[in-house]
Amino acid sequence: MSVLLETKDLTVTFGGLNANNHVDLKVDSGSFVGLIGPNGAGKTTFIDAITGFVPTSAGSATFGGQDLSELKPHQRAQLGLVRTFQSLELFEDLSVRDNLLVAAYPTRWYTLLQDIFYVKQKKNDVEEKVDWALEVAGIAHQADILPTDLPHGQRKLVGVARALAAQPNLVLLDEPAAGLDTAESNSLGTHLRDLLKHDITVFLIDHDMGLVLSVCDYIYVMDFGKIIAEGTPSEIRTNPEVISAYLGEEAGEIQARSAEELRDMTIEGNE
Amino acid sequence: MDVLFGAFAGLGAGAVFAILGVGLVVAYRGSGVINFAHGAVAAYTAFTWDELRNTTHGAYVKDDGGSIFLPWFDPIPEWGFLKALHINNLPVEIYIMNDPPVWLAALLSLAMAAFIGFLMHIMVFRPLRNAPLLAKVIGSVGVMLYLQSVANLNFGGANRADNGFWEFTSTNEPIRNFLGMDRNLAGSTLYLAVAALIIGTATWALYRFTRFGLATRAADENEKGATLLGYSPQLLAGLNWVISSVLAGAIGILFIHRAGPPTFILFVVPALAAALVGSLTSIMGALAGGFGIGMIASMGVNATSYDWWPEWLPSDGVRTFAPVLVMILVLYFRGDRLPIRGTVGVGRQPRAPFAKHPLVGLGIGIGIVVLMSNIFTANWESTLTTTLLSIMFMLSLTVLVGFLGQISLVQWSLAGFACWTLIRLSADGTKIRAMDFLAIDGPGWPDPLAALAAIIAAVILGVLISIPALRIRGVQLAVVTLAAVVAIEDLLLRNEPLMGAGAATTNPTPDPNWFGVEVGALDEKTFRTDYWKYTIFALIFVAIGGLIVANLRRGILGRRFLAIRSNERAAAAAGVDVARTKMIGFGVSSLLAGMAGILVAYKVPVITSEYFNPFVGLGFLAFVYLGGITTVWGAIFGGLLAAGGIISEFGSLHFEGITQAYINAVGAIGLVINAIVTNGEGVALMLTNRSKEMTGVMRGTSSSPNEVSGSIDANTQEVS
Ligand SMILES: Nc1ncnc2c1ncn2[C@@H]1O[C@H](COP(=O)(O)OP(=O)(O)O)[C@@H](O)[C@H]1O
Ligand SMILES: [Mg+2]
């Protein structure tokens, strides 16, 4: 497996506070990697940094072997490095489908002329991508509503679908399960594992330990901007540092066990 | 030496900018609104003061005086039988006394300013306090246009000379050989500067040391803070509006001996620059900024007298460009390419449904216009083409403001730029018509080529202007582009070395001949501007423009424009090149504005740069907003309603003495109401919603009104 995303010593500073502190992290293509950590640990900042939304003060990030530092956010997105937002950030006055279409159409120099002369776009692969993304997120029946008219959980899914519509190589999901109930969260997990079959690598942030432990192949744990542990779910589950920093010992045990059950369920569901 | 002297000479104007800037800061801190009407408040107060004093010392001699005019107009003009009935309409003029003493005149004038501030709060900004940004900006622009129009109606709008508070005039008793610099400084300069320093410092102290000031600062942070100190937040906001307006009024009275009241309206531009220097929140910053801008501008103007100064940079342009430069520097270097995390959103935007069958609408529209053109003669034909021209221009605002959400006030100047460029390029040094005063030198390009080049020039200028706009957003963009309007007029339009001998006075327009067809509006036989081929020409232009806009909205870019309007961060994350897309939007909008400029040039035989003054442009914005800023239909409604358009001309046929000022005042009111009531969706969308309801009811299929206006997919709605 080749390395898709790699950061070395990545550091982000907000007025003296190191929100990301020398982060070394690797995502192999075709894998499902998780990042967990308590609130304020710097997880969102990490996504912001590699997608170009906050400047980094030190370190480097490469994507598919290409150095990202000189690229603007939209250029990184066009490379296939696509994110969702913890705070949703949907286009509130576009329909759900249009939200996805914004991300799905590639930019061409002749787009302006094409639009002005209204060159009819027949049902093309772009529209198919959108339909597929709606399907995966399970919101196909709501494609023509405004996002404001959806309940919170489904709005989250619109954000995920919009990222998928761009046909990313790597999708960075910032707490997609927050605000979902357990059932929704489980079904989201199943769908997300399906993405691997479509050649989409997934990087999942969540502080729902259960979800992350159940769907990820490899997990990083962040606290105070630093990576404090990494490993497979079973290693993380038993890592004493993680347990003390993040879980509290007992709670960790319980959550880890329920995660195991959940994982069994999802894998069964997949097959 | 000249430049050093300029620094001192600029203290007078600097004092005005400083106090106006302080007033802007006060209003902003009190209510979060940037008040474009701030200069207009100063103007109205200055008019009131002069009207009361009935001064005859100056150039302008009035027949009577001693009255105040309330800041509105009589909505029921006296006509027909109403005139005979002597129905007492809304009172406007109140007679006080002949030749009132100075203190009384000053007191009454300041009371007028306070009253205007109070009205602005109650009628406009309080209802708009939770409205989206666009609505707030539009509201404040509406107030500016309203006060300008009402000042026109009540005071005639002409410049007045008044000896002012201290019986100064601009020439009276100058300080000769000032500081040994061999130049004469206007006598009131230093007094003005000291007065401004005192007023500014007193205002600062008021907010720094009193309980009221403390409460305002607390309310700035959160509304509970003010409540704890025993003030209701809305009372506080109202008081701040009154203080802000009184400050504007005071400086209006103090400065009237130097400048006519109408010019005060646009002093809001340097004042905004001053306020921006103070980050919109620091009174002392605004004070310093105002003086700085006044001095820099004056130094620049003095520098133009040097031999080495290039002739194509006129001194007026330098003066008005100084604040623009300061603004752009301040905003550009403080701005971010993308809004940072946690920035407050822009609020709910007006819906922008697209037309499913624009060709059908187009066919109907062309049919109606051709029919009208055959029925109409003379005046009405001209009204028809004015309507078409307005629609053409408004389409440029539909793209830029409606779709892309960029509140740019500069587009009408781009139309002017295209018009001027066309005149220059097609001129060949001979008189075009026997009646022309001037012959313009120029390369004498044939018509379609000159027009095309002029449109391209407008596009280039528009895209250049968009570069700072990449980092400057929201209301600040409106501020900068308003400044650019003034700068373009002085720097490019009224620039004779660049634009030809008629640029600053009366510019004779070309007699266009496109591929062997005369398409100008001037009928050579009758000397009326109602030639039918021009109507067809204009119609073709508008049809092209309308199709471009409708197709854009249905296409990939239109969707991206709306995405940027809604959330720039998310658009970038979705792979949209925000900067480039914005530039394309400015380019398309400028193309449409340039086309409108060509229509202007072909319509009137001679033209002055007055035609492109900021208030005409703001009037267009008002009416397209009223019609509906997000649809082609909205632009069409706007064009019908705007001054000179078919509906408003039809209205003035039935009401004697309706002038453009009336129409703009009514438009401004409509604009504010529209901002409050429909969030800018305007007449067009309101009508489609209603008609949908009606057809729904008739078919028995639908549907509560709520559903119609609320949850129908914004994009499957059909407008044509
Ligand atoms: N734009 C910003 N300016 C200043 N501090 C920030 C900014 N964004 C995040 N932070 C700070 O960085 C830290 C990490 O935040 P965040 O990345 O949102 O954490 P997480 O996503 O893990 O909850 C927090 O202390 C937060 O307050
Ligand atoms: Mg976060």
Residue B289 shares a structural domain with residue B368? no
CA of A42 relative to ligand 2 center, distance in Å: 7
pLDDT, residue A237, reads 86
* A260 within a domain of the structure (yes/no): no
The Cα angle at residue B522 between residues B518 and B523, in degrees rounded to 5 = 80
Alpha-carbon distance B714 to A92, whole Å? 10
* B661 within a domain of the structure (yes/no): no
The Cα angle at residue B388 between residues B385 and B394, in degrees rounded to 5 = 145
- pLDDT over threshold 50, residue A271: no
Query: B634: burial class by Cβ within 10 Å (0-12, 13-18, 19+)?
Result: buried
Alpha-carbon distance B649 to B412, whole Å? 22
SS3 annotation, B180-200: HCCCCECCCHHHHHHHHHHHH
The Cα angle at residue B629 between residues B626 and B630, in degrees rounded to 5 = 140
Residue B108 shares a structural domain with residue B219? yes
Tally of domains within chain B: 2
Residue B709 shares a structural domain with residue B631? yes
Residue B244 shares a structural domain with residue B388? no
Q: What is the mean pLDDT of residues A132-147?
A: 91
- Residue where a domain terminates, one of B306, B336, B366: B336
**Nearest-by-Cβ selection for A116 from B348, B551, B576:** B551
Give the range of the structural domain holding residue A61, as residue numbers without chain letter.
Answer: 3-237
Does ligand 1 come within 6 angstroms of the Cβ of A176?
no
pLDDT, residue B359, reads 83
Residue B272 shares a structural domain with residue B373? no
* A137 within a domain of the structure (yes/no): yes
Q: What is the pLDDT of residues A157-210, one digit of tens each?
A: 899 999 999 999 999 999 998 878 888 888 888 888 889 998 999 999 987 778
The helix/strand/coil state of B163 is coil
* A245 within a domain of the structure (yes/no): no
Neighbouring-strand partners of residue A12: A20
Alpha-carbon distance B265 to B262, whole Å? 6
* B672 within a domain of the structure (yes/no): no
Give the range of the structural domain holding residue B70, as residue numbers without chain letter.
Answer: 2-336
pLDDT, averaged in runs of 10, over chain B (720 residues): 83 95 94 92 94 59 72 69 61 81 92 97 89 82 90 83 67 70 80 94 94 83 69 88 97 89 92 91 95 92 83 82 85 70 66 81 85 77 91 97 92 97 91 80 90 97 88 83 89 88 86 89 78 92 95 93 94 94 96 97 90 88 89 92 80 61 80 79 79 68 38 36
Residue B95 shares a structural domain with residue B227? yes
| CATH code of A89's domain | 3.40.50.300
Sheet holding A66-67, edge to edge: A17-28, A3-14, A58-63, A66-67
Closest CA to B350 of B651, B670, B678: B678
* B152 within a domain of the structure (yes/no): yes
Residue B121 shares a structural domain with residue B226? yes
- Residue indicated by tokens 């373009």: B488
Query: B42: burial class by Cβ within 10 Å (0-12, 13-18, 19+)?
Result: buried
Alpha-carbon distance A37 to A39, whole Å? 7
* A254 within a domain of the structure (yes/no): no
Closest CA to B346 of B617, B158, B663, B568: B568
Kindly tell me the sign of the dihedral angle through the C-alpha atoms of B677, B680, B685, B687.
positive
* B662 within a domain of the structure (yes/no): no
The helix/strand/coil state of B659 is coil
Alpha-carbon distance B255 to B191, whole Å? 11
The two tokens of residue B642 are: 């705007």
The two tokens of residue A42 are: 């710097």
Closest CA to B418 of B519, B517, B488: B488
SS3 annotation, B20-89: HHHHHHHHHHHHCCCCCCHHHHHHHHHHHHHHHHCCCCCCCCCCCCCEEECCCCCCCCCCHHHHHHCCCC
Alpha-carbon distance B111 to B117, whole Å? 10
Q: Chain B partners of A77 at a C-beta cutoff of 8 Å? A: 572-575
Alpha-carbon distance B249 to B548, whole Å? 46
Q: Are the C-beta atoms of residues B42 and B277 closer than 8 Å to each other? A: no
Residue B217 shares a structural domain with residue B291? yes
DSSP state of B122: I
CA of A43 relative to ligand 2 center, distance in Å: 5
Alpha-carbon distance A1 to A148, whole Å? 41
**Nearest-by-Cβ selection for A116 from B548, B563, B576:** B548
Does ligand 1 come within 6 angstroms of the Cβ of A48?
no
Q: Hey, are the CB atoms on A51 and B562 less than 8 Å from each other?
A: no
Closest CA to B691 of B679, B676, B357, B699: B699
Name the CA dihedral angle for B545, B551, B556, B562, rounded to a multiple of 10 degrees.
70
Q: What is the ipTM of this complex?
A: 0.89
Query: A152: burial class by Cβ within 10 Å (0-12, 13-18, 19+)?
Result: exposed
Closest CA to A84 of A44, A117, A35: A44
- Residue where a domain terminates, one of B303, B336, B369: B336
Q: Are the C-beta atoms of residues A99 and A190 closer than 8 Å to each other? A: no
The helix/strand/coil state of B201 is helix
**Nearest-by-Cβ selection for B567 from A89, A98, A144:** A89
In angstroms, the Cα distances linking B493 to A220, B147, B413, B587, B612 are 63, 26, 9, 20, 9
pLDDT, residue B169, reads 61
Residue B330 shares a structural domain with residue B396? no
DSSP state of A175: S
Nearest CA in chain B to A74: B575
Give yes or no for A15 touching B (CB within 8 A).
no
* A60 within a domain of the structure (yes/no): yes
* B405 within a domain of the structure (yes/no): yes
Q: How far is Cα of residue A143 from the mean position of the Cα atoms in its chain?
A: 21
Q: Are the C-beta atoms of residues A35 and A43 closer than 8 Å to each other? A: yes
* A247 within a domain of the structure (yes/no): no
Tally of domains within chain A: 1
Q: Hey, are the CB atoms on B715 and A145 less than 8 Å from each other?
A: no
Q: What is the mean pLDDT of residues A45-53?
A: 95
CA of A42 relative to ligand 1 center, distance in Å: 6
Nearest CA in chain B to A55: B340
- Residue indicated by tokens 């009172």: B91
Region of A88 (left: φ > 0; alpha: ψ -120 to 50; beta: rest) is left
* B676 within a domain of the structure (yes/no): no
* B674 within a domain of the structure (yes/no): no
Residue B311 shares a structural domain with residue B441? no
Nearest CA in chain B to A119: B555
Residue B512 shares a structural domain with residue B559? yes
Alpha-carbon distance B489 to B493, whole Å? 5
pLDDT, residue B285, reads 94
Q: Among the atoms of ligand 1, which is closest to the Cα of residue B341? A: 1
Q: Are the C-beta atoms of residues A50 and A67 closer than 8 Å to each other? A: no
The two tokens of residue B298 are: 């004056």
| CATH code of B629's domain | 1.10.3470
Alpha-carbon distance B464 to A205, whole Å? 42
CA of B694 relative to ligand 1 center, distance in Å: 52
Packing angle, helices B378-397 and B532-554, rounded to 10: 20
Q: Are the C-beta atoms of residues B510 and B427 closer than 8 Å to each other? A: yes
Does ligand 1 come within 6 angstroms of the Cβ of A55?
no
Packing angle, helices B614-627 and B133-155, rounded to 10: 120
Query: Of all protein residues, whose CA lies closest to atom 27 belonging to ligand 1?
Result: A40
Alpha-carbon distance B141 to B672, whole Å? 9
Residue B319 shares a structural domain with residue B420? no
Does ligand 1 come within 6 angstroms of the Cβ of A124?
no
Residues 6+ apart with CB under 8 A from B64: B54
The two tokens of residue A62 are: 């490469």
Alpha-carbon distance B485 to B407, whole Å? 13
Q: Are the C-beta atoms of residues B635 and B622 closer than 8 Å to each other? A: no
Please name the amino acid found at residue A114.
Answer: Q
